[in-house]
Chains A and B, each alone.
Chain A
Amino acid sequence: MKSPDIFVIGANHHRAPIEVREKLALAAKHEDALLAELRAIEGLRELAVVNTCNRIEFYGVGDSEHIAHQVTEAFCKQQAFEVSEFETFRLSLKGKDAVQHLAEVAAGLDSQMLGETEIFGQIKEAYANAQSRKSTGPILNRIFQKIFQAAKHVRSNTKITVGQVSIANVAVELALNIFGQLKDTRILLLGAGDIGEKTAKAFQSRGALALTVSNRGFEKALHIATELGASALPFDQKDARLSEFDVVVCSTSAPDVILTKESVQLAMKKRPTRPLFLIDLALPRDVDSEVSTLQNVFVYNLDDLAKIADENRASREAEIKTCKNLLGEKVENLWNHIEPQLKKPEEKAPSE
């Protein structure tokens, strides 16, 4: 008889486009039913499911190669998805490669946004769920616990998480460099551009004190403000009340500048010691280029933010090889302990 092996099957953002991932997303209400079905598969010793918006991956320990296929069939049946179609997007690895893959996922190396740390929490949650369902055993327990240590080691010993890589987060990071913390900062969103709204949301999620929305069409401003839990400001009052805000996110479609040097200078007279951060995401630009010459005023346009994001991304990419090598060493050590365990007779996982 062949000895059991570790496997991972699933689909993720690398091969499955968003339309496919939408169909494959496992709803929480269906998860229990699917897992009950999977646990009934004879020879499937252990199982953990990582289910995020970018990936659905089943990590298991099975007695034969056929087990992974049975998991695939059960999953596709649950999602009403053709197995043959699934196989075109499928990720399928076994043995040490599956462990290395989990390590890279946990360290953020396999993420769409390279080096992001949210995935680490998601994998911890997936493991905790599997533990609470008692579907893990000695092999997966050891693998997950060691992988968490390895991912933490990589994060703290490389620059894989250094610097933000999205425009919105770069803007927030810059605001932190100016204000230290956002709990006292007031944000003004000028215009109804999508990227401006995303940036404003990023500020909200990082604890900004208040958000105000202003747009040429006041109705639209009111609508966005209601959606974001913010207040609305008539567009013609923006200059008079500019001094009340610390961060101004501009994303209008106005053909000319809407914040002139004079209007900003006037606002700064009312708040000379408190900096003003202007984020100009509009094209053509909303902020007069002369504004950046004013003391305590910091102006960043779309190109500036994109350049910083690109630099951070490049710096993270330069770290991939180091991270993979570090993880490879950890996985090699782990595998040397796991492989003999796999050859031992089955220790039944306690039943629910």
Chain B
Amino acid sequence: MLAALTDREWMWAAGGLYLLGLILGTTSLIKGGKPSGLLIYIVILVGYALQLMGLGLRGKVVGGCPLGNSFEIFQFTAWSAISLYLIIGVTFRSSLLGYFTSCLAAALTLSSLLIPEFDATRRAHIFGNNPWIEFHAAIALFSYGVFALLALTSALYLLRLYSLKSKKIGGWFSFLPSAIDLDQIGLRLLISGVLILALSLIVGSVYWSHDFQSVSRFKLIVTCSVWLAYLVALLLRLRGILIAKRFGWTGILLFAAALISLWPVDSSRHTAPQTTPTHQAHP
């Protein structure tokens, strides 16, 4: 029976589990208790595995990394963020990070599933059968996953700073990690994201240098601007200028800008859209 599921059905199941993580966490917080870190971690892990199945099926059908439309980009970004959470979550041991990751993953996966236009058409052969371009696109999206997690830890950091400054440390504020931990994890994610996106741009630039006309100038400017903005944020943080509340807000606002920029970047591709071959997807 499972073998008969389509890629979207796998992703619906994954989105459902992310939503379950969100509901479990919200219920615990409303009751005034701490969300179970282990339970949320397991729910996310299972959701991640199901999403991987869905992305795998889609990849098989489209013959490459599934990044041909907004639906696939949203799914891949959520999957990348969760990949990192599953690594960081173990050492960070914050049930609230798991809860926030559930929120983000549920929002990205379910919204992309609920908006049919996102997956009605997709651009085929966007990588021109060039594995380097596919690699470039995949790691660029992966860096967005890193920035997504940075936005989440930034939100937690802002809440922690608010709780300390406003002298409200009880209730669910008590489940937040320490300010130093959140600041450090944010810095590490920022460094990782900037390096991964830089690698993606370097790989992409090899291709552009051979065929400059094939690349949309708009896409190039937007992508480089995103990287540059994060790089500037990193440099300012390292110099001790962008700190505390400003650092937290930067992590959130830059990610919002990066996410918004994905749509025009996707639309600016030169390949013509075709109907998405979703329903033929079988293992």
CA separation between A180 and B183, bound complex, in Å?
A: 11
CA separation between A174 and B170, bound complex, in Å?
A: 11
> Separation in Å of the A346 CB from the closest CB of chain B?
47
- The answer to whether A273 touches B243, judged by C-beta atoms less than 8 angstroms apart, is yes
Please, what's the 1-or-0 string for A288-304, where 1 marks a CB less than 8 Å from any CB in chain B?
00001001101010001
CB-CB contacts below 8 Å: B226-283 with A: 237, 240-241, 243-246
With A179-B178, A272-B240, A273-B183 in contact, do A298 and B164 touch (Cβ < 8 Å)? yes
With A179-B180, A275-B180 in contact, do A292 and B170 touch (Cβ < 8 Å)? no
CA separation between A143 and B245, bound complex, in Å?
A: 54
- The answer to whether B170 touches A312, judged by C-beta atoms less than 8 angstroms apart, is yes
- The answer to whether A295 touches B240, judged by C-beta atoms less than 8 angstroms apart, is no
- The answer to whether B178 touches A174, judged by C-beta atoms less than 8 angstroms apart, is no
- The answer to whether A298 touches B243, judged by C-beta atoms less than 8 angstroms apart, is no
Contact of B167 among A163, A295, A308 (CB under 8 A): A308
CA separation between A180 and B178, bound complex, in Å?
A: 5
Q: Does A18 contact B (CB under 8 A)?
A: no
- The answer to whether A315 touches B170, judged by C-beta atoms less than 8 angstroms apart, is yes
With A298-B164, A300-B167 in contact, do A178 and B243 touch (Cβ < 8 Å)? no
Q: Does B165 contact A (CB under 8 A)?
A: yes
- The answer to whether A177 touches B181, judged by C-beta atoms less than 8 angstroms apart, is no
CB-CB contacts below 8 Å: A267-319 with B: 272-275, 292, 295-296, 298, 300, 304, 307-308, 311-312, 315
What are the residues of chain B within 8 A of A159 when measuring CB–CB? 32
What are the residues of chain A within 8 A of B245 when measuring CB–CB? 295
For A272, the closest partner residue in chain B by CB is: B240
Interface size class of A (residues with CB under 8 A): 20 to 34
Chain B binding site: helix, strand, loop or mixed by DSSP? helix
Q: Does A173 contact B (CB under 8 A)?
A: yes
Q: Does B169 contact A (CB under 8 A)?
A: yes
What are the residues of chain A within 8 A of B165 when measuring CB–CB? 292, 298
What are the residues of chain B within 8 A of A240 when measuring CB–CB? none
Q: Does B24 contact A (CB under 8 A)?
A: no
Contact of B240 among A162, A177, A273, A298 (CB under 8 A): A273
Q: Does B177 contact A (CB under 8 A)?
A: yes
Interface size class of B (residues with CB under 8 A): 20 to 34
What are the residues of chain B within 8 A of A296 when measuring CB–CB? 243-244
CA separation between A274 and B183, bound complex, in Å?
A: 9
Please, what's the 1-or-0 string for B156-170, where 1 marks a CB less than 8 Å from any CB in chain A?
000010011101011
Q: Does A209 contact B (CB under 8 A)?
A: no
Task: Give the one of B163, B167, B241, B243 with max A CB within 10 A.
Answer: B167
With A273-B183, A273-B240, A273-B243 in contact, do A304 and B178 touch (Cβ < 8 Å)? no
> Separation in Å of the A338 CB from the closest CB of chain B?
33
- The answer to whether B170 touches A295, judged by C-beta atoms less than 8 angstroms apart, is no
- The answer to whether A295 touches B164, judged by C-beta atoms less than 8 angstroms apart, is no
Please, what's the 1-or-0 string for B30-52, where 1 marks a CB less than 8 Å from any CB in chain A?
00100000000000000000000
- The answer to whether A311 touches B179, judged by C-beta atoms less than 8 angstroms apart, is no
What are the residues of chain A within 8 A of B240 when measuring CB–CB? 272-273
Chain B positions within 8 Å of A, measured between CB atoms, are 32, 160, 163-165, 167, 169-170, 174, 176-181, 183, 237, 240-241, 243-246
Chain A positions within 8 Å of B, measured between CB atoms, are 159, 162-163, 173-174, 176-180, 272-275, 292, 295-296, 298, 300, 304, 307-308, 311-312, 315
Q: A174-B169, A308-B169, A311-B170 are in contact. List 10 more A-B contacts (CB 8 A).
A: A163-B170, A177-B160, A177-B169, A272-B243, A273-B240, A273-B243, A292-B165, A295-B244, A295-B245, A295-B246
